Amino acid sequence: MANDLKKFKLDAALFLSSSALIWLVVYSIILTLSGFRILSPGLMADISSLSYGRLDSASTFTLQYGFLVQFGLAITAWIFCFRGNTVLVDKGFVYIGGIIWNLGITIGLIGILTGQASGLSGLQMPSQSIPVLLVGFILVSLSLIQTNNRRSDGEMMPENWFLLISILWFPWTLGGAYVLLYIKELNGVLSNIADWWFINNFYKIYLTFVSIGILIHFLNTLLGVKLSRMHIITSIWILLFSGSIGGVSPGAPVPAWMPALSTVMSVFYFFGILILLKSIYDSIKNTKSLKSVNVFTYTFLFFSIGIFAFASILNFIFSFPSLGRIAEFTFFVPSVEKLYQLGFCGASMFLAYTYLIPNLICKNGKKSNFKYFTLLLVLGILLSTLPSALTGLLTGDGTLTSGLLFVSFGNVLFMLGSLLLFLNFLKLLYFSFVECDCLYFIKGKKSETSEA
């Protein structure tokens, strides 16, 4: 595999992965602080930048743009190279775009913590960070699109379809929302509608398509599963059509047809997900796992699929007005969104980490120990989301407080898991550089003489 990495020229993707893991640690720390702040409002009350509102917005922003988007781009680069049997084309764009992207995240995070947030629920970062993020993403996507176009095998794999659509969709929706909000300067409820439109596309198209692409790739790689192309094509078109429209909650102060349309689109979207899940189930029910792959990779694989199905059912049920109004202004909605982002999208990327790193480090793969951070991350995701979602639907301050105590404990577990994951990554990089020289595709031509 080290030779494959040298052939693919994936050092730029490793740069994106390293940056994403750093932001994951930052996110987990901010998330833990926000949990303590909501339980103890007097804690650090005189520090305005550490108020609950700012910490909550900063944690969501860091998770989405620092970790999920950036790590998703790194995995996309690997899948395009692996499936296309080609090198990462124009990887300089990935380096430059990655640096600009991280600069945009830094500007956005500082802006949120210093009180310059937009006040919108989706695009909460200050306006000046959005063009920076757009430029960074476009530069990285230029390399990825060229890599996909120069694949040596003529036919695109299903995972490539999802990943390519996602990297084409994101700049259009982010750029469109920026134009509407800050160039056309929509005011009042119109600005909220534009923000809801972006949130809906970001969750239901971008993050979902990236995560599905990763899952399909590893279902094929680990289990030899090949999903029905007809089912995949059908689900793609249904998800694209229904996921790009809607996002307006039942109780929003807008004309009645907007929430009604959102409900109808949610039904169609769920139907597309059912087609995909049915295809996955039919494909894996009679397959056997590879003994050469560690158990923690399979843990994240099936955990991600399970959370995808569970969260999709919850979103479908509560998209109807009768139930949606009950959950709308409670902890249920943000908890389910967090479960979807961490349990489905995040777990699919942890899956990629546990599979790729042992291959990346070659002879030192035996030094990988994924047991502890896997356990901490899975427990942290479940405890930091499910209790608050459940108690958010119930009444009574005592019930809510007990749920938030579990959430804070889950946040601490997730922070510890993130720190262990990052330390594991640093340890493996150290051994790769020092002991086996497996990363010679970064260090230069040192190993070429030994190979000869």
- 35-55 residue pLDDT tens: 888 877 777 767 777 888 889
Indicate the number of domains in the chain. 3
When pLDDT is cut at 50, 70 and 90, the band that residue 134 belongs to is: very high
pLDDT 10s digits, 339-377: 999 999 999 999 998 887 766 655 444 556 788 889 999
Task: Please indicate, yes or no, whether residues 441 and 341 belong to a single structural domain of this protein.
Answer: yes
pLDDT of 108 over the 90 cut: yes
Q: What is the domain range of residue 270?
A: 157-287
pLDDT of 214 over the 90 cut: yes
Task: Please indicate, yes or no, whether residues 178 and 254 belong to a single structural domain of this protein.
Answer: yes
Lowest-pLDDT range of 13-22, 356-365, 384-393: 356-365
Q: Which sign does the torsion angle of CA 242, 243, 249, 255 carry?
A: negative
Task: Please indicate, yes or no, whether residues 300 and 253 belong to a single structural domain of this protein.
Answer: no
Domain-located, residue 301: yes
Lowest-pLDDT range of 159-173, 186-200, 349-363: 349-363
Task: Please indicate, yes or no, whether residues 55 and 72 belong to a single structural domain of this protein.
Answer: yes
Task: Please indicate, yes or no, whether residues 167 and 146 belong to a single structural domain of this protein.
Answer: no
Q: How many whole angstroms separate alpha carbon 127 and alpha carbon 357?
A: 36
Domain-located, residue 316: no
Predicted local confidence at residue 298, as pLDDT: 86
Predicted local confidence at residue 276, as pLDDT: 92
When pLDDT is cut at 50, 70 and 90, the band that residue 178 belongs to is: very high
Domain-located, residue 325: no
Task: Please indicate, yes or no, whether residues 136 and 204 belong to a single structural domain of this protein.
Answer: no
Q: Which of 155, 177, 199 is the last residue of a domain?
A: 155
CA distances from 396 to 311, 322, 370, 401 (A): 25, 21, 40, 9
Domain-located, residue 63: yes
Q: Which of 155, 176, 203 is the last residue of a domain?
A: 155
Q: Which of 287, 319, 340 is the last residue of a domain?
A: 287
pTM: 0.90
Q: How many whole angstroms separate alpha carbon 326 and alpha carbon 153?
A: 51
Task: Please indicate, yes or no, whether residues 300 and 447 belong to a single structural domain of this protein.
Answer: yes
Mean pLDDT of the chain: 84
- 46 or 56: which carries more pLDDT confidence? 56
Predicted local confidence at residue 287, as pLDDT: 74
Predicted local confidence at residue 25, as pLDDT: 95
Domain-located, residue 317: no
Q: Are 326 and 340 in contact (CB under 8 A)?
A: no
Domain-located, residue 441: yes
Tell me the average pLDDT across 275-280. 90
Task: Please indicate, yes or no, whether residues 114 and 65 belong to a single structural domain of this protein.
Answer: yes
Domain-located, residue 326: no
Task: Please indicate, yes or no, whether residues 395 and 357 belong to a single structural domain of this protein.
Answer: yes
Domain-located, residue 151: yes
Predicted local confidence at residue 446, as pLDDT: 45
Q: Where are the beta strands (DSSP E) in 164-298?
A: none
Task: Please indicate, yes or no, whether residues 20 and 128 belong to a single structural domain of this protein.
Answer: yes
Task: Please indicate, yes or no, whether residues 50 and 194 belong to a single structural domain of this protein.
Answer: no
Task: Please indicate, yes or no, whether residues 304 and 173 belong to a single structural domain of this protein.
Answer: no
Q: How many whole angstroms separate alpha carbon 261 and alpha carbon 263?
A: 5
